[in-house]
Amino acid sequence: MMRRLAVAVCAVLLTVSTAGSGDAEDFSVAMSAVAPDASLSSATTLATVAVLALRNARVPAHAVATPAACVAPPPLRHEACVGAALSALSSGRAHAALVAVRAAAVPAAPRLRDAGLEELGDAAPPWRRACLVNRPPARSLLDFADERIAALYSLPDDIHGFASYCQNCTFSPKWCNNENVTCATLLTSDESEKDVLAAVVRKHRLLTRVVPLGSRLVDLVGAMTDRALLVCDRAPELSPLARLQATPLGPPPCLGTDECPFEPQRLIKIANVRALARYPSALRTLIRLSFRAEELADLTTQARKNGPEEAARTFIAAHPSVASLGEVRVAVLLPASTDREAYEAHSFESAALLVEREIEAERASRAAHFKVEVFDDGCSAPRAYKYLTDALGTGEYGALSAVAGPACGAAFADVARQSPAHAMPVLAYSPQAPPPPTATGLALLAAGDARLHTELWASLMSQMHWHRLAVLSETATRAALDVVRLRDYEVAHSELPDDGSGVHEELISQWAKRTAEANSRIVYACLEDAREVRAALCAGHGAGLTPGAGAVWLLPAALPAGWLRAAPGERLACSAAQLAAVAEGHLRAKPAWEAEWSPQARDAWATRCAGCVPRAALLYDTLKLWAAALGRLLKANPAAIDDLHRPEHVRTLIDDATSTEFIGLTGLFNWTLSDGVHARTTPLVLQQWRNGSYETVGRWERGALNLVPGALRWFTSDGRVPDDGGERCGLRPLADLLRTDCRTAFIVLAALLLSALVGALAALALYCRRRADREYRAHLEALRLRTYGLKPGGLDRWEVPRERVVINRKLGTGAFGTVYGGHALFAEDRGWTAVAVKTLKAGATTEEKLDFLSEAEAMKRFDHKNVVRLLGVVTKTEPVCTVMEFMLYGDLKNYLLARRHLAAAEVGLNGISTDEAAEEVSPRRLTAMALDAARALSYLAQLRYVHRDVAARNCLVSAHRVVKLADFGMTRLVFENDYYRFSRKGMLPVRWMAPESLALGVFSPASDVWSFGVLLYEIVTFGSLPFQGLSNSEVLARVKAGHTLELPTGLKPQLEGLIKSCWRQDYKTRPAASEVAAFLADSPRLLAPCLDVPLDSMPLDADPPWRTARDRAEARWVSWAAPASAATDTTYLSDAPPGEGDAFLPEPATP
C-alpha cells in the first residue's frame, strides 16, 4: 500500500511540474463506481462514499453516473462495462472510479498508462460467488438438476416465516410449478444475487427456487441448521456464513467467453492521475479507501433500504479513518556525525522531537499531522543537498514544507542557494548570513543575521579608536564577514579551507606570525569549530598575541559549553594554563535572550527537554512558529496541503510567519526585512571572559553599541586600553576620521588635492569652450549669416507641427544625423505627401545646430525644378528636423552604380540603346541628368550662392528621373567679390575641389563648375571614384601642381572639350554654369557610358580602402564641426579636433 502511494504521489508531482499554475479553485473530482452486484443503487452508494471521503479530506468532489453498460439487467458483458468505465475516465467525464472486474481480466497496466490512468489497488478483498450445503449428498451445483437430490433441500414456505420477507420476489422456474416436481430452496442475500442465480438456474435447468432474505439470511440460516440447506451468496467465506458448518459446492463450468458468475472478482480503484495533478491528497484518500466484505454487503442492503445517500453517510460516520488527516513535515538538518566541534546536535534533535510530540498531542486543533524528520548532514553541503534530491525521488517532497538548517554556515549557504529550485523555505536556527539575492525570499533567519555580530565588532573598534584588525575565518563564516566597515580595518586575513582534513594548525600558525609581524593587536577568530579556535589561541600565544602584550581576542558566541577544554586525544601547541591565559579577557557577542535568560527559565527548559542546551530552545521556537503558520494556512485553504511548494502558498507561509505575533521560550519574534531576507532582530550583549565566567560589558541594539562605563577590564601591563598597533604620524587625525592608517590617509589627501586640480582644469576647459562658442557665433556674423535672417522666429512660417509628420523608415545617415522616409500633412485639402525627413543627431553642438539651420535657411530661398525643395521644419521640439521633398531613386552615384551592368551589356556600337531596359543608361538619359545638374548650378549662381560640394552623391534622382541638387550644408553666399573665402579649419572633399579652393580656401561659382566637370566624369564612368588609387595627400599635390583627372577613352570630342574647359587652371576662363547648360541642351546625346575605368571597391570596415593609416597621418588637416557628408564616399582631410601644430591653408596674399 505505501509503495503504491509513493509511486502515485511521485507521478502526480511529475505531472504538477508540467501542469502549470493554473487556477484549480473551480475543480471538483468526478467520482464514479461499478458495483459488484451491477445494481445502480449499489454503484451510487460506493461513489457517494468515495465523494464524502474526499470532501472530508478537503478535496472538492461530486458523484457522476455509472456508465450505462454497467447497469444493464444481468447477465452483463464484462468487457463492455470495463471499457465504458475506462472511456469515462480517460475522457474526463470521471476522474476516479471503483470498478468491479473479473480477477482474470483486470485491465493491463500499459493499457491504463496509455489512457493516462493508474490503478490504485483493491477497494475490497478479492471475492467470488459460492454455494454451500450443510449436509450431503450434493457436491456440485449441477447436482440439483437431479430431482432426488433437489427434493432433499426443499423448504416449506411456512418454516420460520422466511417467505414473508419478500413477497412476490421469489424466483421459481416454470418447471418447478409442476405439482409432481419438488424443487430445492436456494437461499441468498438480496435481489441482485437472486437475479444472477436465476440466470444460472435457467441456463442449466436446475430444479431450484431462489429466495432472497436480505439481512435476515445469516439469522435464518443459523436457526435452520437442523435441516438440509442450500445457500448461495457472494464471498460467503468473508461473511458470517463462514461460521456455518457447510461444504462449498463445485460451480458450473465456464465455457468460452461467456460471463461466469462464479469467477473470482476484484473491486479495484482507477484514477486519472493527470486530471488529479492538483490534488495529491485525492489520490492519498482513494488509496486509503477500502471495504471489508461484510461492509460491502451491508452497504448494498442499506442502499436498498434507506437510499444511497443515507447509506453512504452512515458508513462514513461509522468509519472516520477513511477521512484521516494529511501530513506535513519539516526536515531538521543536524551536524551529528562530524569531527567539527560545533553545535550540540543531540540537544537540537531532542528539541525537534519535543515539538512533534506536543503538536501531535493537540488533536482538536490540528489541520494535519505535523512530523519532524531529523537528518544528519555532518556539516557537509553535499550531504545536506542530497537529502533534498532524495526527498524528490521518494515521494516525500510533497509533504516537506520546509528545511530547518543546516546549522553549519557552508552547508546552510549551499542549501539556501538551491532552495528556489525546489520552492523550499529554509529556516536558520543558528546565526547565518543572508543567501544570494535569488534565494533571499525563501530564507527565514530565526537566529538573526550573522553580519550583525560583525557590525558590533566594527562599532566597538570605532569607539575604541582601533583601525587595524587581524581576521582568521573559514569558508562557513565568509558571508558573515561581508561588512564594509570591518573590511576597512583588516590588515591580516586568512581563510581556512573546507577540505575536511581536520584542524589546519600550520596555516593557523602562519597567520599568527603574520599578525604579529604586522603588529596587529586586535584579533578576530570568526570560526565555527571550537578545535580551530583553540588552535588559534595557542598559535597566538606562540606569536606573542597575549592579553598582557596588548592583544584583544574577539571570539564567536556559538561555541559549545566547555570549549576551552581539549577534546580527548587532541594535541595542542600550548598547555591548558597557557590556553586559559590567552583566552582571558576575550570578548564575545551573545543574543540578549540567551545571555539574559533567568535561572528559572533555564531550569524549566532543562526539565521540559532533558539534556537540551539553551540554544536548542531557539530551534524549538522556530518549529513551533512554522507549525502555527502551517496550521493557519491549511485551515484557511485545506487544498494547500496538496501543493505546499506552490509560490503563492510559500509566500503566504513566510508572510504569515513573519507578520503574526509569536512569543516563544526565547521571547518575542520581531522580524526585519534586510537585503530581501527576513531576519529576526534581537539585541546583542557584549560579554567579557574574566576568571572563568562571562561579564556583561555592553549592549548593541538598533545599530548602536552602548558600553557599560568602567565594565571593560584590560590585562595590559599598565591596565590601559590597548592600541591597535598602528603607526603614528602627522595625518593621524585624518586617518582616525577615515578609520584607516597613515599611508592610506596620505593617499586620500593626495587624491583630494588631485581632484581639486582636475576640477579646476575642467572649469578652465569649460570656460575656454564657452569662449570659443562666443567667438564662433561672432565669426558666423562675420560670414554674413545674418543675411539669411537666421534669428529667433526666422523659420516660423515654415514650421510644421510634429504630429503632422509621420516617419516610417530609415533612408540613411547624413552630415548632421539620420534621414528618414515618411509622410507629412501640410494642408487638410492636399492629403499626405511623401517626404524625406532629416534629423539633427542627439547631443549636437551649438555649431552643428547653426550649420543645420543655416542649410534650412538657404534651402527656403530656392525654388527650382532641379533643386530639392524645403517643405518645412520642426524646430520647436527635439529633435530638430527639416522636411524635404522625397526623391524616390536616392543619390545619383548609387543610381549609376546600380545600373552599371546595363550600360556594359546593352549599349551598341553607335551608342544607341538596344532595348527598353537600357533606356535608363542611354546617352539621352545621361545627358539629361547632366543638364539637370548644370541648370541647378546656373540657378544657384544667379542667386549668388556657391554649393562647394557638387558631386554625384549630392545629386538626387526623382521618380521621373529628374536630377535635383541637394545637401546644402556647405552652401554659402558670395558677395561683391563673387567668391567666398573659407577661413575655418575644416574637412573638405579634395577630389572634387578646384585648385584655388585647395590652395587659397576660395570658393566661387567657377569652383562649382570645376566640381561639375568631376561630376561629368562620375556620370560617364557610372560612379567611378575620382583619382582612384591615389591617397588624399597625392591628390592634393597633384591638383595643386596643375594636373587633372585622366579622362577615359571613348569620350566624344565635344564632351572631352567641355570637361577640360571646366578644369581650366584659371577660374576666370572657365565657362559659366549657364553656358554649360546651354551646351548640353544643344547636344542631347553628348554623354555616353565609358566603362574602361575600374570601379572602386566598398570595404567591409569603417575606412575606405584608399584611406590608409599612413594617408591619414600625412593629410591630417583638422576641423572642429565642419559640415561633413557622412555615410558617403567623400574623403575628408581629417576626422579629429584641431591640434596645436596643425595648419590649414596658406593665407592669401594681401592685395
How confident is the model over 1069-1114, as pLDDT tens digits?
Answer: 999 999 999 999 999 999 999 987 766 655 554 444 434 333 333 3
Q: Which residues contact 758 (CB under 8 A, 6 or more apart)?
A: none
What confidence tier does 736 reach under pLDDT thresholds 50, 70, 90?
low
Q: Residue 20 class from Cβ within 10 Å (0-12 exposed, 13-18 middle, 19+ buried)?
A: exposed
- For residue 220, which phi and psi values (nearest 5 degrees)? -65, -40
pLDDT value at residue 186? 92
What confidence tier does 372 reach under pLDDT thresholds 50, 70, 90?
very high
* Residue 496 CA, distance from chain mean position: 35
Asked if 781 contacts 853 with a C-beta cutoff of 8 angstroms, the reply is no
Report which listed range, 193-202, 356-365, 1140-1149, is most confident: 193-202
pLDDT higher at 301 or 405: 405
pLDDT higher at 959 or 1104: 959
pLDDT value at residue 870? 92
pLDDT value at residue 1148? 41
Q: Is it the case that residue 76 has pLDDT exceeding 80?
A: no
Report which listed range, 175-184, 247-256, 365-374, 385-394, is most confident: 175-184
Q: Is it the case that residue 471 has pLDDT exceeding 70?
A: yes
What confidence tier does 82 reach under pLDDT thresholds 50, 70, 90?
confident
CA distances from 1099 to 720, 898, 1080, 1096, 1107 (A): 79, 17, 35, 9, 11
Which of 15-19, 453-457, 459-463 shows the lowest mean pLDDT across its residues?
A: 15-19
Structure letter (DSSP) for residue 575: -
Q: Which residues contact 433 (CB under 8 A, 6 or more apart)?
A: 409, 413, 449, 450, 451, 479, 480, 482
Tell me what the mean pLDDT of segment 686-703 comes to.
Answer: 92
What confidence tier does 323 reach under pLDDT thresholds 50, 70, 90?
low
Q: Is it the case that residue 545 has pLDDT exceeding 50?
A: yes
Whole-angstrom Cα Rg for the chain: 51
How far the first Cα of the chain sits from its last, in Å, is 116
Instruction: Give the whole-number percent of the chain exceeding pLDDT 70.
Output: 83
Tell me what the mean pLDDT of segment 441-468 comes to.
Answer: 90
Three-state SS at 121: strand
- What is the C-alpha separation between 1078 and 1073, in angstroms, rounded? 9
Report which listed range, 359-373, 557-571, 929-943, is most confident: 929-943
Structure letter (DSSP) for residue 225: T
Q: Is it the case that residue 667 has pLDDT exceeding 60?
A: yes
Q: Is it the case that residue 478 has pLDDT exceeding 50?
A: yes
Tell me what the mean pLDDT of segment 613-628 comes to.
Answer: 93
Q: Is it the case that residue 1136 has pLDDT exceeding 50?
A: no
Q: Which residues contact 259 (CB under 8 A, 6 or more apart)?
A: 75, 76, 77, 78
pLDDT tens digit sequence for 259-281: 688 888 888 999 998 888 777 77
pLDDT value at residue 4? 44
- What is the C-alpha separation between 354 and 367, in angstroms, rounded? 19
CA distances from 1131 to 511, 696, 956, 991, 1138 (A): 66, 82, 20, 8, 18
pLDDT value at residue 739? 60
All cell numbers assigned to 329: 513535515
pLDDT value at residue 380? 86
pLDDT value at residue 916? 63
Q: Residue 18 class from Cβ within 10 Å (0-12 exposed, 13-18 middle, 19+ buried)?
A: exposed
Tell me what the mean pLDDT of segment 1040-1058 comes to.
Answer: 91
- What is the C-alpha separation between 414 and 393, in angstroms, rounded? 20
pLDDT value at residue 406? 92
pLDDT value at residue 289? 85
pLDDT value at residue 167? 62
Tell me what the mean pLDDT of segment 946-950 comes to.
Answer: 91
- What is the C-alpha separation between 901 and 906, in angstroms, rounded? 8
Give the residue numbers annotated as catalytic, written as ranges.
949
* Residue 969 CA, distance from chain mean position: 51
Structure letter (DSSP) for residue 559: P
pLDDT value at residue 258? 61
203 in a labelled binding site = no
Closest CA to 117 of 9, 10, 1, 274: 274
Q: Which residues contact 524 (CB under 8 A, 6 or more apart)?
A: 457, 469, 470, 471, 472, 554
In the chain the domains, ranked by start, together with CATH numbers, are: 2-126+264-323 (3.40.190.10), 129-248 (no CATH), 327-448+598-682 (3.40.50.2300), 451-597+685-707 (3.40.50.2300), 786-885 (3.30.200.20), 894-925+974-1114 (1.10.510.10)
What confidence tier does 25 reach under pLDDT thresholds 50, 70, 90?
low
What confidence tier does 340 reach under pLDDT thresholds 50, 70, 90?
confident
pLDDT value at residue 824? 92
Tell me what the mean pLDDT of segment 888-912 comes to.
Answer: 77
The total of other beta-carbon atoms located within 10 Å of residue 495's CB is 16
Question: What does pTM read for this prediction?
Answer: 0.52
Q: Mean pLDDT of all residues in the chain? A: 82
Tell me what the mean pLDDT of segment 764-774 comes to.
Answer: 83
pLDDT higher at 891 or 731: 891
pLDDT higher at 786 or 1096: 1096
- What is the C-alpha separation between 244 and 263, in angstroms, rounded? 22
Q: Is it the case that residue 1119 has pLDDT exceeding 50?
A: no
pLDDT higher at 859 or 878: 859
Tell me what the mean pLDDT of segment 656-678 comes to.
Answer: 92
